[in-house]
Amino acid sequence: MPVDARVAGRTLSPAGLYAVLLGTTLAAWAVLFVRMRGMDAGPGTDLGTLGWYVGVWVTMTAAMMLPSATPMLLVYAKVASGSSRRPAASTAVFLFGYVVSWTAYGLVAYGLYRLVRAHDPSFVGWSRGGHILLEAAPELGRARGFAIFGTPPLAFPPAMGQAFLPHPALALGFQAELTREEACAYVAAFFKAGYADIPTFFLEDALRTDGRSRAPVGAHIAPGGYRDEVKVVAELRVPLAVLHGADEQLVNGGYFASVPMPTLWRGVVQTIAGAGHAPQWERAADFDALIEAFARDGETRP
């Protein structure tokens, strides 16, 4: 404890209390300097074992919180001197309770962290959502893996002519206003050519979407507008599943061979026969089987 039990029964002067708190704080900072030197401070840093964590947490609490608690402790010690037979012991108990409260808070946080860590998710992104996922990937340090489909990773400047096929509907994805005819053409491009069972909600969603969510996308294809996604996938440390419809009308499947993907799941792009840009709908059973297999593989990762 910061206050030695041997001082119980004696009144601590403000100077004495200052000395105890200052000494405890300096000692705590010295311990932290040794224990945490070289520790990774980036997103997703592991908190270590419970024993290590509690030791560092309590020490850090003493180092960082005792200085800010000093005025409160001085007031309490002054009040205790006039109302308690053992003001030093009373102040020590008060200080102990303060540290215990912060320790309890840290234990709750550690428990939540472990609960979340035990269920680290894999993330799946489709088309533009896949690009958003690649943008976020460096910040998702505890993800078990990423799966993208309908999403060719783009560098800067983007190789649009190589990543995408020359389909007239592609430009409609950047157009603010769509007529019903244009929306029909746009949605039809999501599926393989000649696909007859296009659900009506695809068209309804395209018409209902605020055009302001489409128009700025093209403007973001500029320096500083997005991450270099080719670099992102090249630096991934977790599996990346890439699914591709064999009958895509928008994304060029051959482009993926030019993108370095060292953690590519199963070592190859997973091509789904009979599917276009929306394999989750056109070939749902095949798509689901691949995603489930990817998720199972992620669960076996340490």
CA distances from 223 to 76, 125, 132, 198 (A): 58, 23, 17, 37
> Across the strands, what pairs with 245?
272
pLDDT at 235: 96
Residue 172: closest CA among 82, 232, 119, 249: 249
Reported as a single tens digit per residue, the pLDDT across 20-29 is 777 888 888 8
Between 66 and 201, name the one with better pLDDT: 201
CA atoms within a 13 Å half-sphere pointing along the CA-CB vector of 108 = 6
Angle at 149 between CA 147 and CA 155, to 5 degrees: 90
User: Does pLDDT of 40 surpass 60?
Assistant: no
Q: Which CATH architecture has domain 122-299?
A: 3-Layer(aba) Sandwich (3.40)
Measured CA to CA, the distance from residue 52 to residue 78 in angstroms comes to 36
Q: What is the mean pLDDT of residues 178-207?
A: 93
Between 148 and 87, name the one with better pLDDT: 148
Reported as a single tens digit per residue, the pLDDT across 265-275 is 999 999 999 99
pLDDT at 152: 97
- pTM for the whole structure: 0.62
Quick check: helix, strand or coil at residue 167?
A: coil
pLDDT at 181: 94
Q: What proportions of the chain, in percent to the nearest 5, are helix, strand and coil? A: 60, 5, 35
Reported as a single tens digit per residue, the pLDDT across 234-277 is 999 999 999 999 999 999 999 999 999 999 999 999 999 999 99
Q: In the chain, where does the domain assigned CATH 3.40.50.1820 lie?
A: 122-299
User: Does pLDDT of 2 surpass 60?
Assistant: no
Between 52 and 38, name the one with better pLDDT: 52
User: Does pLDDT of 226 surpass 50?
Assistant: yes
